[in-house]
Structure 1
Amino acid sequence: MPFQHVLVAYDGSEQAQSALLRAKELVRSIPGSRLTIAHVFHYPNLVVGEAMIAAPVRMELDELSDSERTLDEAKELATDLPNAATALLQGDPARALLDYAEELQADLIVIGSRGLSTLKELFLGSVSHYVVQHAKVPVLVIKNPDDL
């Protein structure tokens, strides 16, 4: 049975734009399928020993505002799909995407091979890698030709 509900991760990066375009192509090719575009934001916190220092409120508001702009950009890219929805999620990006995929009962996750995070990727492993390793549904990882 073809995919009926596709979840695509979107962070505004070139890879995410490619992933969204591929997801749209896929959804268009399968009658009755639908697309959900998710953007995950995470308030930065600093952990020192056992103490956790939360980000200043101004930084949190800026992050939320940037995230809303990013999701608006994704909505604009998907206006030609009548069955597209968007979601703004909070938390660790990989875990939030996986939890949301399960909640939606998505049967495919589409994600760019790299996003905007570079420093975090070096220390914690990439979001796409974590999603591929822990997803309960198939994951389509999109690479840009420049990365090959």
Structure 2
Amino acid sequence: MLFSKIIVAYDGSALSKKALKKALHFMEESAAGMRPVKLEIIHVPFAPSFIFGETLVATTGAATRNMLDHAQTILDEARQFVPPHANVKYVLRQGPPAKTILEHAEECEADLIVMGSRGLGGIREFILGSVSHNVVQQAKIPVLIVK
């Protein structure tokens, strides 16, 4: 593998955990070959205010704080899979998930995006479409979809 920076889209789902483990495997392989790889784990929480522009429903400060606290908990959960010595950055961003993941990949000059084929889904997937599908269709870099 010739990747130097990998982004993992992580939402706490079983497939995002599997995607994270795959990215960590790439890191281990690269380290064995003396090619260090940086890993960024990004979580983009679903917020109704981003579905149709300004707001779908008015959110209070407390609701926003609860959402961000939950999002931080999901990122903290990802830490349990990461070895302490790994070169990993944890990123929490808000916005439409696919667009935000792609923007972050471009900003940090990633070479690869790794994500599960399906996330937590539900109403978000019904309204927005599959995040993984949108990322694959719009990405300028390789995307590895883990099933």
* Superposed pair shares fold, TM > 0.5: yes
Alignment TM-score, normalising by the size of structure 1: 0.87
Give the aligned CA root-mean-square deviation in angstroms: 2.1
Residue 78 of structure 1 and its aligned partner are, at CA, apart by 1.1
Partner of 1:146: none
Give the Cα–Cα distance (whole angstroms) in 2 for the partners of residues 87 and 68 of structure 1.
9
Q: 1:67 aligns with which of 71, 75, 79?
A: 71
CA contact (8 A) 2:46 2:124 kept: no
Q: Within 5 Å, which residues of 2 pair with 1:71-82?
A: 71-82=75-86
Letter in 2 for 1:17: K
Letter in 2 for 1:101: A
Match of 1:5 in 2: 5
Percent identity for Structure 1 against Structure 2:
42
Structure 1 69/24 Cα, relative in aligned 2: closer, same or farther at 3 Å?
same
- Assess if the C-alpha contact under 8 Å between 2:51 and 2:96 holds in 1: no
* Count of matched residue pairs: 142
Alignment partners' CA distance in 1, 2:105 and 2:38: 13
> Please, which moves more after superposition, 113-122 or 75-84?
75-84
Amino acid at match of 1:34: K
Once the two structures are TM-superposed, the CA of residue 63 in structure 1 deviates from its matched residue by 0.6
Higher percent of residues as strand: 1
Unaligned segments of structure 1, at least 5 residues = 144-148
TM-score of the pair, normalised by structure 2: 0.88
Query: 1:10-89 alignment to 2 at 5 Å?
Result: 10-30=10-30, 31-45=35-49, 53-89=57-93
1:81 CA displacement: 4.5
Letter of the 1:20 partner, please give it.
Answer: L
Q: Runs of 4+ in structure 1 displaced over 4 angstroms? A: none
Q: Quick one: structure 1 residues 52 and 78, their matched pair in 2 at CA, closer, same or farther if it must change by over 3 Å?
A: same
Alignment of 1:65-144 (within 5 A): 65-143=69-147
Structure 2 residues without counterparts, runs of 5 or longer? none
Of 17-26 and 27-36, deviating more is 27-36
The answer to whether the 8 Å contact 1:45/1:53 transfers is yes
